Amino acid sequence: MVMEEIVYQREATPNQKWTNRAFQLQQEGKLVATLRIGESAEVFVQGLCPRCNKTFQTVISREITAVDHQHLGVGESTVGASPRYERQAVVCSASPAKGAPSDAMGCGACFSVFAKVQETR
């Protein structure tokens, strides 16, 4: 079987084709996403990219630390109110694909995953 070489293509918003494939990979246990809510809120994603099929891992902060004089982020009102899964946009961060800019990671695919919520408080 000949593997097709993936060329870098940066996507700014989640691509439905890759989101559908990511969902399939999550069902197969080949892509895992977890939203950990405690003192901070972070999404941990690891597994296969739905576009390039390379293994990657990334951590995405889900907090807004401050806006003007008000502080936002993970507060008491968010604990317990979260659904079991939350949708999160992800960009592939595997090894760079062919034609990628020198500062780029992965193949550039943008897709959504469904992160399982884990409250750690």
Domain ranges of the chain: 16-119
What is the amino acid identity at position 43?
V
- State the pLDDT at residue 75: 52
> For 11-53, how does the pLDDT look when each residue is reduced to its tens digit (9 = 90+)?
999 999 999 999 999 999 999 999 998 888 999 999 999 999 9
Q: Give how far the C-alpha of residue 50 lies from the chain's centroid of Cα atoms, to the nearest Å.
A: 12
CA distance 109 to 53: 11
pLDDT of 58-117, one tens digit each? 999 987 655 555 544 555 545 555 468 999 999 999 999 888 899 989 999 999 999 999
Instruction: Tell me what pLDDT residue 82 has.
Output: 45
pLDDT band, very low/low/confident/very high, at 3 (cuts 50, 70, 90): low
Question: What pLDDT score does 48 carry?
Answer: 98
